[in-house]
Structure 1
Amino acid sequence: MKRAALKIVFDISAAAMTTIKKMMAALPNMYRKITVTKLSNNFREATELQKVDFPSNIKDDHIVIRNRYSGINASDVNVANGLGGYTDSPPPFNVGFESIGEIAMLGNGVKNLKVGQPVAAMTLGSHGEYQELPAKFAIPLPDVKPEYLALMASAMTADMAYQECGPLKAGQSVLVTGVHNCCRWTGQFAVQLAKLAGCHVIGRCSTDEKVEFLKTLGCDRPINYKKENLKSVLKNEYKKGVDVIYESVGGDIFDTCFNALAVYGKVIVIGAISSYSFDAKVHNSPVLPRLPLTLLMKSASIHGFFLFRYAHKYRESMMRLMQLYGSGQLHVAMDNGKNSPTGHFQTLESVYDAIDYMYSGRNEGKIYVKIGESSKL
């Protein structure tokens, strides 16, 4: 539909109508976004920051969101290198898949949403000032704040992985392998949700500061892998093995953890960040040749969990997590470049620095970029 012909299909006050008219008048003729222009696991080489026309027509049952905050994820690199599951389209295509913002335009047929309403979205395009998407993928929010980003891919992955790969049982031991910088920083939530389920939680991290942070989350046995050997700790302190391993690192860490799996144990693989960056080395696992026999002898299992296969459950999971967060049962750690040498991530251009920061391992929470100031209209 054309912007000039936009019709508001819900009852609103005169003051709200004035606000909407101001927002519509403020819509730009062009906007900026980061686009994948060629496939590469070097994010800077794969993408371009482009200026494109603002959509004069949007599809029926679609909306346009003004992005205010965008989440940074290890899988941004997977998107840019064309790893299957994110998009089947050849370049060019959008990148970034966690956004918080406000609805800027409504397409024909959109119900129960309104212009100016705070929403979250998990579709490709968050690394841009605006994005168009099907209205059914918008998740209504009470307000616009970056903490909700952490409840999306990061927390949803932990929440749904535990749900879909078999619910946790009180008394089980759970090892979270990459709390310090794991895929989408989901580790902080994997720890907390396991504790809420009554489990004994082991967390692997890289500094004494992160050890203390893990303790605040309720982690029973933090392991600073730069001071302690993970293999030795598991062998000496968990002689019967670990019941559930929430694995996001890959490589040698996968091998070590798999060997420490208990009888009837379970590995939930949600990523392999050690292999995502452009300078990652190929890992030849000694575990793989004997994997079937080991699974058989331990009656164990390995589950792969890819969040984007469960889009139909996003809202259900988000509502569950928002309730836990709102009641104070779920702690959210955010990082807008706290320890970054380039400073805070306050512009769309800083997405590149934020991704470098993620791989540096210096972050202390969910990394996010502030795309623009919240609307004062």
Structure 2
Amino acid sequence: MSSPLLRRGGRGAAALLGALWGVGRAARRSIIDLSYSTHFMDFQGSSIPSSMRKLVVNKLSPNFREAVSVHTAAVPTPGDADLLVRNRFVGINASDINYSAGRYDPSVKPPFNAGFEGIGEVVGLGLSASSRYTIGDTVAYFGSGAFAEYTVVPAKESVPVPAVKPEFLTLLVSGATAYIALKRLGDLAKGETVLVTAAAGGTGQFAVQFAKQAGCHVIGTCSSDEKAGFLKSIGCDRPINYTTEDLAKTLRKEYPKGIDVVYESVGGSVLEVAVNSLANKGRLIVIGFISGYQTTSGIPSFKGATLPVKLLQKSASIRGFFLPHFLSDYREALGSMMQMFAKRKLVCEVDSGELAQEGRFVGLESIFRAVDYMYAGKNLGKVVVEVAPPAVSNSKL
């Protein structure tokens, strides 16, 4: 992802402040290194070590295990406007392997840090950041380098959360994608029919709920009866288990007038079915095409020669959605979803690997298992990894 959220700047502000404090060696010291640094780095309460582990992309490849490895590095020092976050949970996204394959920003060369989203406690911060945050605050963030025990996050890009719950993590990318895509590109109207593919996954679960809240009839594809049951529990009117039902035939039989809006993340043959199933003036929103991500090109095969005529005949449209292009909508979306969750009007299903063969996803090393688990289609809800258990703190800072 090439948004400002994923490109960290230098330490210009901290360097300027350092210059104002004196000359010689003192002028080159970070603000954190000053005599009152204990107010900004909670070493005792949070047991901040001198080193940490993180996942680093060493070579470009769609094979996550091949591209990424665990590295030991110094715990980073936050700049003037930064927070140092001790990660408790990190989120797994299908696009993690697009990032490791170098597909988002060709100018970024290995080695670079992996991971898009995390949630944890503030254990250190810069002087400017201390005007808004303090040690012990809990925050979530959407930015690069999340697959680490500690991550430096610009204060202005962090999101205060009431508690370190993985449910909040589901909103950062997965929830925001569904909320903004349907709001900005879906043009949902009460009574319309909406199809959500991979509906029981991390972002699909939200698309189902938001479409239902808009008064739509919702269809959701999934791969098991268990997932179909979950979809019914969150309001899906017609779950379709594609392992036991033919998706194209079912849609033709039960929805002869077509589908008004499709929220599509699979690609390939599923995208072809979606295009053929569109109603007049139908809108198809492409938020991904996971079926091709593990290939060399990253793009699944698609028979699109007749696409223009199909769209023309139905006055239909295909619209692409990439979250970093809609950052102006991000704060409102996140705030609205957090309110819904607090009022118990939004289900944020988390899959921490309780049913995985080797058990729950705990520790950085389990991120590799979590990625495999998601790509095997085993997850129900958002895949989340617990980086570290909660710390016992006696700090009075």
1:6 touches 1:106 (CA, 8 Å); kept in 2? no
Instruction: Write the distance in 2 (CA, Å) between the matches of 1:194 and 1:8.
Output: 49
* Equivalent in the alignment of 2:54: 33
TM-score scaled by length of structure 2: 0.87
Q: Secondary structure at the match of 2:373?
A: helix
Instruction: Write the distance in 1 (CA, Å) between the matches of 2:150 and 2:344.
Output: 32
Q: Secondary structure at the match of 2:220?
A: strand
* Equivalent in the alignment of 1:203: 220
Give the direction of change, closer, same or farther, for the CA distance of 1:6–1:314 in structure 2 (3 Å limit). Answer: farther
Q: Secondary structure at the match of 1:113?
A: coil
Instruction: Write the distance in 2 (CA, Å) between the matches of 1:90 and 1:371.
Output: 26
Instruction: Write the distance in 2 (CA, Å) between the matches of 1:350 and 1:150.
Output: 18
Q: Secondary structure at the match of 1:246?
A: strand
Q: CA deviation at 1:263?
A: 0.4
> Quick check: 1:170 aligned with 2:187?
no
2:259 touches 2:282 (CA, 8 Å); kept in 1? yes
* Equivalent in the alignment of 2:205: 188
Give the direction of change, closer, same or farther, for the CA distance of 1:33–1:62 in structure 2 (3 Å limit). Answer: same
Q: CA deviation at 1:23?
A: 3.1
What per-residue deviation string (whole Å, max 9, x for no partner) do you get for residues 304-359 of structure 1?
A: 11112223432221110011111111112111112211111111110001111111
Instruction: Write the distance in 2 (CA, Å) between the matches of 1:239 and 1:80.
Output: 42
> Quick check: 1:265 aligned with 2:282?
yes
* Equivalent in the alignment of 1:240: 257
> Quick check: 1:103 aligned with 2:131?
no
* Equivalent in the alignment of 1:113: 133
Q: CA deviation at 1:107?
A: 1.8
* Equivalent in the alignment of 2:18: none
* Equivalent in the alignment of 1:122: 142
Q: Secondary structure at the match of 2:347?
A: coil
* Equivalent in the alignment of 1:22: 44
Instruction: Write the distance in 1 (CA, Å) between the matches of 2:298 and 2:171.
Output: 31
User: 1:229 is matched by which residue type in structure 2?
Assistant: D
* Equivalent in the alignment of 2:347: 331
Q: CA deviation at 1:375?
A: 2.7
The equivalent position to 1:299 in structure 2, one of 292, 295, 315, is: 315
What per-residue deviation string (whole Å, max 9, x for no partner) do you get for residues 70-121 of structure 1?
A: 0111111111001125x74211111111101011211232231112110000
Q: CA deviation at 1:145?
A: 1.0
* Equivalent in the alignment of 1:53: 74
Instruction: Write the distance in 2 (CA, Å) between the matches of 1:34 and 1:280.
Output: 24
Q: CA deviation at 1:7?
A: 5.3
Instruction: Write the distance in 2 (CA, Å) between the matches of 1:166 and 1:281.
Output: 25
Q: Secondary structure at the match of 1:289?
A: coil
Give the RMSD, CA atoms, in angstroms. Answer: 2.1
* Equivalent in the alignment of 2:391: 375
* Equivalent in the alignment of 1:138: 158
Give the direction of change, closer, same or farther, for the CA distance of 1:292–1:164 in structure 2 (3 Å limit). Answer: same
Point out where structure 2 has 5 or more consecutive residues left out of the alignment: 1-29
* Equivalent in the alignment of 1:340: 356
* Equivalent in the alignment of 2:21: none
* Equivalent in the alignment of 1:3: 32
Q: Secondary structure at the match of 1:152?
A: helix
Instruction: Write the distance in 2 (CA, Å) between the matches of 1:147 and 1:91.
Output: 32
Instruction: Write the distance in 1 (CA, Å) between the matches of 2:100 and 2:43.
Output: 37
> Quick check: 1:252 aligned with 2:252?
no
Give the direction of change, closer, same or farther, for the CA distance of 1:228–1:152 in structure 2 (3 Å limit). Answer: same
1:2 touches 1:58 (CA, 8 Å); kept in 2? no
Q: CA deviation at 1:205?
A: 0.6
> Quick check: 1:75 aligned with 2:91?
no
Q: Secondary structure at the match of 1:348?
A: coil
Q: CA deviation at 1:179?
A: 1.6
Give the direction of change, closer, same or farther, for the CA distance of 1:138–1:230 in structure 2 (3 Å limit). Answer: same
Instruction: Write the distance in 2 (CA, Å) between the matches of 1:194 and 1:36.
Output: 37
Instruction: Write the distance in 2 (CA, Å) between the matches of 1:61 and 1:6.
Output: 18
Instruction: Write the distance in 2 (CA, Å) between the matches of 1:341 and 1:38.
Output: 28
Q: Secondary structure at the match of 1:165?
A: helix
Q: CA deviation at 1:283?
A: 4.0
Give the direction of change, closer, same or farther, for the CA distance of 1:77–1:18 in structure 2 (3 Å limit). Answer: closer
* Equivalent in the alignment of 1:44: 65
2:31 touches 2:79 (CA, 8 Å); kept in 1? no
1:339 touches 1:362 (CA, 8 Å); kept in 2? no
2:280 touches 2:315 (CA, 8 Å); kept in 1? yes
Give the direction of change, closer, same or farther, for the CA distance of 1:368–1:172 in structure 2 (3 Å limit). Answer: same
Q: CA deviation at 1:218?
A: 0.8
> Quick check: 1:353 aligned with 2:373?
no
- Percent identity over paired residues: 44
1:244 touches 1:268 (CA, 8 Å); kept in 2? yes
Q: CA deviation at 1:127?
A: 0.8
Give the direction of change, closer, same or farther, for the CA distance of 1:221–1:239 in structure 2 (3 Å limit). Answer: same
1:180 touches 1:361 (CA, 8 Å); kept in 2? no
TM-score scaled by length of structure 1: 0.91
Point out where structure 1 has 5 or more consecutive residues left out of the alignment: 10-16
1:274 touches 1:280 (CA, 8 Å); kept in 2? no
2:268 touches 2:300 (CA, 8 Å); kept in 1? yes
